């Protein structure tokens, strides 16, 4: 289950557990049960951004969870979730 996370200031779907920044989520699948199941992984990915440097910022550009080697805007989550 892949999700695309995009930094946002209004109506975020998820908040970073460390700094409280909000993110919109775009999902590869629309099943809310699968989305709920993937949330811990997204929280972990957000925590990881702060792991090496407590002052680290989240990427300004959208990123995928789990990370994807291609361009984020061409990921399945971005295309199917309607982020593009």
Which tokens sit at 70? 């291609």
The answer to whether the Cα torsion of 52, 58, 59, 62 is positive or negative is positive
Candidates 4, 16, 45, 76: give the one binding Zn ion (CB under 5 A): 16
19 contributes a contact to Zn ion by CB under 5 A: yes
* Binding window for Zn ion (CB under 5 A); candidates: 20-28, 32-40, 65-73, 75-83: 20-28
Instruction: Supply the minimum distance, in Å, between the C-beta of residue 9 and Zn ion.
Output: 14
> According to the 3-state scheme, what is the secondary structure of 50-75?
HHCCCCCCCCCCCEEECCCCCCHHHC
65 contributes a contact to Zn ion by CB under 5 A: no
């Amino acid at each position: 289950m892949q999700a695309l996370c995009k930094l946002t200031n209004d109506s975020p779907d998820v908040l970073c557990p460390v700094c409280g920044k909000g993110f919109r989520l775009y999902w590869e699948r629309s099943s809310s049960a699968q989305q709920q199941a993937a949330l811990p992984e997204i929280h972990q990915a957000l925590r990881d951004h702060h792991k090496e440097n407590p002052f680290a910022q989240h990427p300004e550009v959208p990123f995928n969870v789990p990370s994807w080697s291609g361009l984020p805007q061409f990921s399945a989550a971005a295309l199917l979730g309607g982020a593009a």
